[in-house]
Amino acid sequence: MRILTGITPSGTLHIGNYFGAMRPAIELQDRGEAFYFIADYHSMTALTDPVRRRQFTLEIALDWLACGLDPQKAVFWKQSDLPEVCELTWLIGSLTPMGLLERAHSYKDKTAKGISPNFGLFAYPVLMAADILLYDTNLVPVGKDQKQHVEMTRDIAIKFNQTYGETFVVPEEEIRGEVAVVPGLDGQKMSKSYGNTVEIFGDEKALRKKIMGIVMDSRTPAEPKPDAEKNLAIQLLKLVAPADAAADFENRLRAGGLGYGDLKKALFEHYWNYFAPYRVKRAELAANLDYVESVLRDGAQRARATASGVLQRARKACGIE
């Protein structure tokens, strides 16, 4: 089984990225052939600063490796090291109906917000389909916001196979229910573009301040809260604390008598401890960038061994080779 996922370097990674995609992907690296990459071509629709793109790309490489991506098990590369993906984008894009792309949530959300769309934003799902199809992917671990993109990939693969003959593997998404949408500090989906994130790695003081600043409901904190499970701090605590500790806080909030300050303090401490070992690993990696670059170079080579065969198959199928 081939497992593939990507993360866009358009900002600093947050715990929504970690629990929604990275942790499932890291667990899956023992269950099949793992192919994980940094989607720097995708970042071009959101970011036009080359220095920051380079910096975010390197930081995401450090984040993945620090959190447990094992380059002995997983193939790990930078998307743009295989420009083959752009050729495949054209081959499949030429069969992709405009109507399909017009229905994409991410495109609709961005245009609704007044962002004037360019070709890249419109074609984004086709590039993502090319990422997935180029490696004969079976399974794509992602958060819920990417579900539609994987569905579109399936539609595109099926259409290509019907038009040119059996060429692509038709993939499935894997979305873990409890972390499908990790909420941000304002209760909306946590997102690099909403300014509501808890970063995986960052400055202790600033992160403590962010977490202590979560706005709760206006009822007196010590009052019983029958809907304790809906409390944002409780939801986040369940991700970073041992199950019994999180359940204890939830019960205390439900029964009354638990102050919000104590709850947020516990959330910060558990969050900080959860990532402590990864923080140490990340500092080691940051002092050894040659190693990190060699991992990506080697990954690109290994990725190409698969990609070139699939691309050749697709070119042959449509009569350009």
| 81 lies in the binding site for ligand TYM (CB under 6 A) | no
Question: What is the distance between the alpha carbons of residues 316 and 310, in angstroms, rounded to a whole number?
Answer: 10
Q: How far is the CB of 315 from ligand TYM (least distance, A)?
A: 21
Question: What is the distance between the alpha carbons of residues 229 and 254, in angstroms, rounded to a whole number?
Answer: 8
Q: Which helix (H) or strand (E) holds 223?
A: none
Q: How many residues of this chain interact with ligand TYM, rule: CB under 6 A?
A: 25
Q: Is the Cβ of residue 78 or residue 225 nearer to ligand TYM in the bound state? A: 78
**Which one of residues 8, 29, 80, 231 is an interface residue with ligand TYM (CB under 6 A)?**
8
Q: Is the Cβ of residue 153 or residue 167 nearer to ligand TYM in the bound state? A: 153
Closest-approach residue to ligand TYM (CB): 20
Q: Which stretch binds ligand TYM (CB under 6 A): 2-10, 112-120, 228-236, 296-304?
A: 2-10
**Is the alpha carbon torsion for 18, 20, 23, 26 positive or negative?**
negative
Q: How far is the CB of 60 from ligand TYM (least distance, A)?
A: 9
| 292 lies in the binding site for ligand TYM (CB under 6 A) | no
Question: What is the distance between the alpha carbons of residues 292 and 63, in angstroms, rounded to a whole number?
Answer: 11
**Which one of residues 58, 134, 140, 285 is an interface residue with ligand TYM (CB under 6 A)?**
140
**Which one of residues 2, 23, 42, 110 is an interface residue with ligand TYM (CB under 6 A)?**
42
Burial class of 265 by CB neighbour count within 10 A (0 to 12, 13 to 18, 19+): middle
Number of neighbouring beta carbons within 10 Å of residue 283: 12
The residues assigned a catalytic role are 110, 189, 192
In 3D space, the residue among 146, 130, 28, 137 whose CA is nearest the CA of residue 82 turns out to be 130
Question: In the beta sheet, which residues pair with residue 173?
Answer: 140
Which tokens go with 173?
């998404």
Compute φ and ψ for 184, nearest 5 degrees. Answer: -90, 180
> Known binding site: residues?
8-10, 16-17, 131, 143-145, 182, 189-193
Q: Which residues bind ligand TYM (CB under 6 A)?
A: 4-8, 16-17, 20-21, 39, 42, 128, 131-132, 140, 142-143, 145-146, 179, 181-182, 189-191
